[in-house]
Amino acid sequence: MSENERLFERAKRVLPGGVNSPVRAFKSVGGSPRFIANSDGCRITDVDGASYIDYVSSWGPMILGHNHSVIREAVERAVGNGLSYGAPCAAEVELAELMTELVPGLEMVRMTSSGTEAVMSVLRVARYATGRDKVIKFEGCYHGHSDAMLVKAGSGALTFGVADSGGVSGEVAAFTLTASYNDLDSVSDLLDANPGQVAAVIVEPVAANMGVVPPRGGFLSGLRELCSKHGTLLIFDEVITGFRLSVGGASEFYGVRPDLFAFGKIIGGGMPVGAFGGSAELMSYVAPLGAVYQAGTLSGNPVAMAAGLAQLRYLNEHREVYAQIDGYAAGLASGLTEIANGKATVNRVGSLLTVFFTARNVDSYSAAKSSDTDSYGKFFHSMLNRGIYLPPSQFEAWFVGAAHGDSELDATLSAASSYFDGESPK
């Protein structure tokens, strides 16, 4: 038995399913998860000493690669001053200033410890600001595990074939309306059927938790128009797209300005961080200025703020990173499309991509669901055995980072070619 397998057996006795987040369990692809011992650049190494080219990238924040010296040194300096204060620090002010400088429409932010917490809080702001209770989300889009958002959710919930979570009351779920991603008519119909009742429409600007599904032309701008027409707030969940599509996030990338934002992951440089924000007017409703209560002992944690500030400063000063990672991802997507030769569809937006095991054009939740998950599981293990670490689910994004280079591209495409050519891994 390998050390990975031994650890998994131990973990299952003390952690539900042996993991602390469901998709890590490899349940949808089979086998035992890899327990990671260390990481550097674009590679991770497991407890058995096997090294992998990593396309999970901690689900996005490692845009500069693992263990980047600029971020590591910032963390080391911050740790030297203490791990947590439960009081304000300069770094949280500096990070908020930089975020509001970079993101169009973002005037004020509140730091949290996770993207889930950010979404939960921003919805509370939207409900208070509008005096309305209902929220529209999209099938297959994942906005964290707060009760109201676990209705027809993506990510792990989609992976396991369940749209809803146990323990979510019917009363809470009743206030969440579900539309079809990339279908403006479905949103318009819900707004018309619930006049004056919808506080917000929340959307992943690029759906990335049913696999990567780009917004159709006019979809995001159409949402903006519908929300403005109905007095409904538009929320961009930029936990994945924020500071990854561009230094100004999806708001800059697509030229569409939402009313409110939720961020996560990447603004902590790999540390546990989230944030929500919007106009100064809307954020004035948040305590202690207003009546919308949100608090957290670790919000604005000095070590996490130092890591995030170092990463965002670097990205702002080296914007060529975006052309670099987008170019790599474009080459990867093009090569995979050629290799698959009609057996799979590859979607890409910027440095995000997904290989869907379906011949259909994947521009919707239903098209994503047509994927052959058994084939993806075989592909996953074939690639894993050849040293390529992919998301252990058909319905997740691959993340490219600045540490990926030509040799990794060649190795990844060679491994994929061997799979599609039917070669057995050695």
The residues carrying an active-site annotation are 142, 237, 265
Q: What is the 3-class SS of the chain, one letter each residue?
A: CCHHHHHHHHHHHHCHHHCCCHHHHCCCCCCCCCCEEEEEECEEEECCCCEEEECCHHHCCCCCCECCHHHHHHHHHHHCCCCCCCCCCHHHHHHHHHHHHHCCCCCEEEEECCHHHHHHHHHHHHHHHHCCCEEEEECCCCCCCCHHHCECCCCHHHHCCCCECCCCCHHHHCCEEEECCCCHHHHHHHHHHCCCCEEEEEECCCECCCCCECCCCCHHHHHHHHHHHHCCEEEEECCCCCCCCCCCHHHHHHCCCCCEEEEEHHHHCCCCCEEEEECHHHHCCECCCCCECCCCCCCCCHHHHHHHHHHHHHHHHCCHHHHHHHHHHHHHHHHHHHHHCCCCEEEEECCEEEEECCCCCCCCHHHHHCCCHHHHHHHHHHHHHCCEECCCCCCCCEECCCCCCHHHHHHHHHHHHHHHCCCCCC
- The per-residue pLDDT for 157 is 42
Give pLDDT, residue 160: 36
Query: How far, in Å, CA of 3 to CA of 227, rounded?
Result: 53
Tell me what pLDDT residue 156 has.
Answer: 45
**Amino acid 1: pLDDT:** 87
pLDDT for position 177: 92
Q: Quick one: pLDDT at residue 162?
A: 37
Walk along the chain (426 residues) and give the pLDDT tens digit of each residue: 899 999 999 999 999 999 999 889 999 999 999 999 999 999 999 999 999 999 999 999 999 999 999 999 999 999 999 999 999 999 999 999 999 999 999 999 999 999 999 999 999 999 999 999 999 999 989 887 765 676 655 444 433 333 455 656 566 677 889 999 999 999 999 999 999 999 999 999 999 999 999 999 999 999 999 999 999 999 999 999 999 999 999 999 999 999 999 999 899 999 999 999 999 999 999 999 999 999 999 999 999 999 999 999 999 999 999 999 999 999 999 999 999 999 999 999 999 999 999 999 999 999 999 999 999 999 999 999 999 999 999 999 999 999 999 999 999 999 999 999 987 665
Q: What is the pLDDT of residue 150?
A: 63
How far apart are alpha carbons 305 and 323 in whole angstroms?
Answer: 26
Residue 143: per-residue pLDDT: 85
Q: Is there a contact between 66 and 44 (Cβ–Cβ < 8 Å)?
A: yes
| pLDDT at res. 175 | 85
Domains and CATH numbers, the chain: 3-67+320-420 (3.90.1150.10), 69-317 (3.40.640.10)
pLDDT at 406: 97
> What pLDDT score was predicted for residue 154?
44
